[in-house]
Amino acid sequence: MMSDPQITNLANLVEERKDELKQILADLISFPTVSPPARNTSEIQAYIAEYLEALDFQTERWDVFPNDPNLVGIKKGTQSDTYNSLIINGHIDVAEVGDDSSWTVSPFSLTEKAGYLYGRGVSDMKGAVACSLFAVKLLHEEGIDLKGDLQLQTVIGEEVGEAGTLSCIEKGYDADFAMVVDGSNREIHGQGGVITGWVTVKSKEVFHDGMRAELNETGNGASAIEKMPQIIDSLRALEQEWAETKQYPGFKKGTTTINPAVIEGGRHPAFVADECRLWITVHFYPGEDYREVAKEVEDYLKQSVKDDPWFQENPLLFEWGGKSMIEDRGEIFPSAEIDPEHSAIKLLQQSHNTVEQETTSIGMSKTVTDAGWFDDAGIPTAIYGPGKLNEAHSVDEKIEWSELITFTKTMLTFIPTWCNARKQ
């Protein structure tokens, strides 16, 4: 740990200067970065870039989608090669508001009431981003040099399954540990994963509706719509099988669900349906790889229809994942395991316990975040942030003001201690 007086001093500063933290959050909330429709984050990223540059961070911005740039700010450590580096990652898009008539406060101007702050994104997750920005400002102004590299990533698109964080990884940004500060009620979380997919039944031949009697008689043609129920039944059977055979600590058995979420098919009443498409959502456990999970589903379905002559002629088609629900109608959130023995996890826990005088738990998130992309890239990671899941996406979204202050203090214990410890 950093010397106690230094940490105490930083904690005192957080209290003394907390109005600055509130102002940063008020600024972030004022940008209506709702997603969908997305494509609206250039201005908030410019604001954050300017803020970080004033603290001697080097920044890079690039468009993941038009008018939706990612931002990475890096402050090189004084001994980068031998000391721990850290990524702090947060998304700056927020859930849609839609009709705001049921809101009692304005979603895009920060309101304080009875110890809570209100606004779209305060919990998910501009509150955590504001705390991170405030923390690095205090480190800078107190002249606390870090030996390892510190990196702040503010990414786009998380709310609609857009792989902003994946884009950072593809650009080569990495570190010894990545902390995703999405809401976890200040518990240390890993997560299961999600992949969406399209299963398509498609006939090579197209028939007029008038042919149906003849097709029924000869058994030659088939309606893709009438072929789909057996696929849905098979998915149900596989889901059942997984519930019996798969498990992971921290999850109820049967969490590995396969949801037939959307179905589309047919052209027009004058045709026998030659195509039917099923959009499925597949949940899997930490330690499972989304590529293998997708293959498991494919293999199971192929096996289930292998004796059907029609499917031999017209094989099932599969499309998995995607980098955006908006552009690709598909998404992937890889799973993330937590290693309680990893030095960063231990230190994070210790930092939390020191600040809060209470033991935090290590567990599994009930939702998915971008942490999975770090795990997938081999970067040790954890979700740790302020805010409760039931506040995310809610009407009158709120967060306890004291929670943000506490979280900032924990960050200011963890960051300098981690980045001033030697790589192992």
- Closer of 152 and 201 to Zn ion (Cβ): 152
CB of 387 to Zn ion, least distance (A): 8
Residue bearing tokens 């097709």: 215
d(CA 119, CA 125): 11
The CA distances from residue 48 to 79, 159, 236, in Å, are 26, 19, 46
CB of 276 to Zn ion, least distance (A): 34
Number of residues interacting with Zn ion: please give it, by CB under 5 A.
3
- Closer of 119 and 148 to Zn ion (Cβ): 119
Among the listed ranges 1-9, 178-186, 239-247, 414-422, the one in contact with Zn ion (CB under 5 A) is 178-186
Give me Rg for the CA atoms of the chain: 25
Among the listed ranges 121-129, 220-228, 232-240, 288-296, the one in contact with Zn ion (CB under 5 A) is 121-129
CB of 35 to Zn ion, least distance (A): 11
The token pair that represents 66 in the structure block: 């038009």
**Contact call for residues 187 and 360 (beta carbons, < 8 A):** yes
Site for Zn ion in 67-106 (CB under 5 A): none
> Residue from 68, 93, 124, 370 that binds Zn ion (CB under 5 A)?
124
Interface with Zn ion, residue 125, by CB under 5 A: yes
Interface with Zn ion, residue 397, by CB under 5 A: no
Among the listed ranges 123-131, 168-176, 188-196, 223-231, the one in contact with Zn ion (CB under 5 A) is 123-131
**Contact call for residues 73 and 51 (beta carbons, < 8 A):** no
Q: Angle at CA 348, nearest 5°, toward 347 and 354?
A: 85
Per the DSSP assignment, residues forming a β-bridge with 331 are none
Among positive and negative, which fits the CA dihedral 306, 310, 315, 316?
Answer: negative
- Closer of 10 and 125 to Zn ion (Cβ): 125
- Closer of 181 and 305 to Zn ion (Cβ): 181
CB of 196 to Zn ion, least distance (A): 18
CB of 368 to Zn ion, least distance (A): 9
Residue 158 among the catalytic residues: yes
- DSSP E strands in 192-294: the ranges are 193-202, 258-265, 275-284
Among the listed ranges 124-132, 138-146, 193-201, 315-323, the one in contact with Zn ion (CB under 5 A) is 124-132
- Closer of 13 and 160 to Zn ion (Cβ): 160
Cis-peptide into 228, omega within 30 deg: no
Angle in degrees, 0-180, between the axes of helices 224-245 and 290-304, rounded to the nearest 10:
120
Q: Angle at CA 94, nearest 5°, toward 367 and 321?
A: 55
Site for Zn ion in 180-219 (CB under 5 A): 182
- Write out the catalytic residue numbers: 93, 158
> Which residues contact Zn ion (rule: CB under 5 A)?
124-125, 182
